[in-house]
Amino acid sequence: VHELWDAETFDYDYCVLTLETDIVQSPTVQTVELATSAPTQGTTAQLTGWGKTSGTSSTLPYLLQYTIMDIVSWEVCKNLWEPAGHMLTDRMICASHPTASGCNGDSGGPLVVDGKLVVAQIAHAYIAISPRYNNGRIVGGTDAKADQAPFQVSIVLYTGWFDYLHICGGSLAGRRSVVTAAHCCDGYHASDLEARYDGLDFVTLKTINKVTKIDIHEGFNSQTHDWDYCVLTLRDDVVKSPTVQTIELATSVPLTGSAAHLTGWGRIPVTSAKALLQYTPMVIVSRQQCNEIWEPACQTVTERMICASNPSAGGCSGDVGNPLVADGRLVGILSWYGKDCPANTVEWPNLYSDVANQWQWLDDRIAK
């Protein structure tokens, strides 16, 4: 593994495996040469792999898949990904196709131009990245204490080949349910997901509970993040203890200026040695004030959203679905946030799905 590999940013994403025996070349087995220069914009490339053939599929294809890709300029790619919170480095290149791409299980697969693998130390690294898996965790938070969020859940995606990835947060509710954001669930099968909880360190969470059912709000709009509600039903009942508790739903909207708090792990690589739950106090912001801030940025704060802020802390990618709690009840589900996850969320408040607004819909789907 490259000594500068960064699991948070995917920078220096290189690894060489040494095999037990020599490769015997034949008409169906060949090695590939490494590129010594980066391909130019518009160059035709090819991508192959056995990864998933759609974002909603839970199985891998038997036959190797192939697609043509076009190299995208670094500047264009950077402009596309920076608003989503992902920073491109000099060790990355981008490729695109209007109807095809890599998916889960394709990471590490070869991007080939003119018969050469376009990855080498003096070229760039092609990486498969998705807005769902952006880097970042609670900005400006502190390590949480055991009694601050015993209902906190990490929602983990099985990506194939025994690989798991934290994608969102959530809250334990009822007998065996998790309340989270719809865009944490959209496009997945229940068998793709599991809930992990009971502890502060993500790496050593004691309980893994499989998801058996996904309920996404029928009004969910993936473009505006309106109606951003989801309930996951778990396989096993939640066993309560001093470190595991469920949380009650708020049935009324918290008043402007009310104290609240946000917890979460953000984006945590499963290979991390340690990743402690983060905590930050927040203050509820009026919907009117929040709309005045966000409307000039072409974002509408609807009746199903509430806002919260802190002059030096807020949620970031990987924190979506995390609980906003006031007076011991779940009042919000983190839904979206400002570009590049600004620490000053007074200037750009975090947006949460308003639990009280859809209390009945959530309660009807939570296992009692």
8 A C-beta contact, residue 353 and residue 229: yes
Candidate list 13, 198, 319, 354, residue with the active-site label: 13
**Can 13 be counted among the known catalytic residues?**
yes
pLDDT score at 314? 86
Cα–Cα distance for residue pair 84/341, rounded to 1 Å: 9
CA torsion 196-199-202-203 (nearest 10°) is -100
pLDDT score at 270? 41
* Domains in the chain: ranges and CATH: 33-129 (2.40.10.10), 142-365 (2.40.10.10)
Average pLDDT over residues 223-251: 96
Cα–Cα distances in Å, from 130 out to 110, 134, 255, 286?
Answer: 18, 7, 36, 32
The amino acid sitting at 28 is: T
pLDDT score at 35? 87
Candidate list 106, 107, 317, 354, residue with the active-site label: 107
Cα–Cα distance for residue pair 276/203, rounded to 1 Å: 8
353: left (phi over 0), alpha (psi -120 to 50) or beta: beta
This prediction has a pTM of 0.64
Average pLDDT over residues 282-292: 95
pLDDT score at 2? 87
Q: Where are the alpha helices (DSSP H) in 211-310?
A: 287-294
pLDDT digits (tens, 9 = 90+) for 173-198: 999 999 999 989 998 999 999 999 99
* Residue 140 CB neighbours (<10 A): 17
**Can 228 be counted among the known catalytic residues?**
no
Higher pLDDT, 97 or 236: 236
| Structure tokens belonging to residue 351 | 């947006």
